């Protein structure tokens, strides 16, 4: 049994590594390719701008990808130390409104559904990681929603607080709703990498939420939208 388990985990690791090197190579190739194009004397102003934009966006992708991979590796090797404190999660939630409204998405209404009168929601957990999970989910909501609305909020339950991010975007097929939390999973709906992204954001969220003592899941309907939920101990 132990041998089978070790073999399985070895297989998983090698396919993770193979995938990862592919994911790193793609933006890196773009950066190399466009820098050599840029170095040519004949490049006109319009193309120069375009190449610089592409180099910039691919560098950012690489940067976020490497950050996420480092986080995942830290968690996988049981080295993640949560910095648990008692913090006001409501403050963090309220701050997202300013941040995302500033981006000025025209066709998406964005709101924080604040159903409780009180100003505070104290929980004991890692505030930085909490913000990281929320912003991953909000970034995805904006990425996969072209019009309609994006809402987020929380509900206090007995022993947990349930946080959610809801959108009216492209949605996710039933059979894919669990898989999207796997490493490097990309929905079949999306041709190539049409929306961009590191493809491990949700895999990282799942690991972080588990580590924080909670769970994460999605409810979704194709072309209607998705709601991502995660619970943390209250
Ligand atoms: P990516 O960087 O590709 O967005 P994620 O790990 O964050 O990677 O998400 C995995 C996949 O789940 C995405 O590629 C996409 O197919 C799907 N997905 C995530 N969030 C949403 C959403 N809000 N609406 C529709 N599909 C989503």
pLDDT (tens digit per residue) in 80-96: 899 999 999 999 999 99
Collect all residues with Cβ–Cβ distance below 8 Å to 126 and sequence separation of at least 6.
82, 83, 84, 85, 212
- Ligand 1 atom with the shortest distance to the CA of 198: 2
Count of C-beta atoms within a 10 Å radius of residue 191: 9
Strand partners, 163: 154, 230
Residue % of the chain over a pLDDT of 90: 60
Ligand 1 mean position, distance from CA 78 (Å): 26
- CB distance 134 to 126 below 8 Å: no
**Closest Cα to residue 143, out of 77, 64, 28, 213?**
64
- CB distance 87 to 127 below 8 Å: yes
Q: Is the CB of 186 under 6 A from ligand 1?
A: yes
pLDDT tens digit string along 17-31? 777 788 889 899 999
Mutation choice for ligand 1 from 63, 144, 164, 230, CB with most ligand atoms inside 8 A: 144
């Amino acid at each position: 049994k132990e041998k089978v388990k070790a073999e399985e985990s070895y297989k998983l690791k090698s396919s993770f590594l193979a995938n990862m090197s592919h994911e790193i190579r793609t933006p890196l190739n773009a950066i190399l390719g466009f820098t050599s194009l840029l170095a040519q004397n004949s490049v006109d102003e319009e193309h120069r701008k375009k190449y610089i934009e592409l180099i910039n966006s691919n560098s950012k992708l690489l940067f976020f990808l490497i950050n996420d991979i480092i986080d995942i590796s830290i968690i996988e090797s049981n080295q993640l130390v949560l910095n648990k404190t008692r913090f006001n999660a409501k403050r963090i939630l309220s701050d997202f409104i300013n941040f995302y409204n500033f981006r000025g998405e025209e066709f998406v209404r964005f709101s924080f559904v604040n159903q409780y009168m009180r100003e505070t929601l104290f929980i004991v957990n890692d505030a930085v990681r909490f913000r990281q999970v929320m912003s991953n989910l909000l970034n995805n909501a904006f990425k996969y929603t072209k019009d309609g609305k994006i809402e987020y909020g929380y509900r206090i339950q007995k022993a947990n607080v349930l946080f959610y991010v809801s959108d009216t975007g492209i949605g996710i097929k039933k059979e894919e709703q669990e898989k999207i939390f796997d490493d490097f999973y990309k929905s079949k709906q999306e041709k190539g990498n049409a929306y961009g992204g590191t493809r491990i954001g949700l895999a990282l969220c799942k690991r972080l939420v588990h580590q924080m003592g909670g769970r994460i899941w999605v409810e979704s309907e194709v072309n209607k939208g998705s709601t991502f939920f995660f619970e943390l101990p209250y």
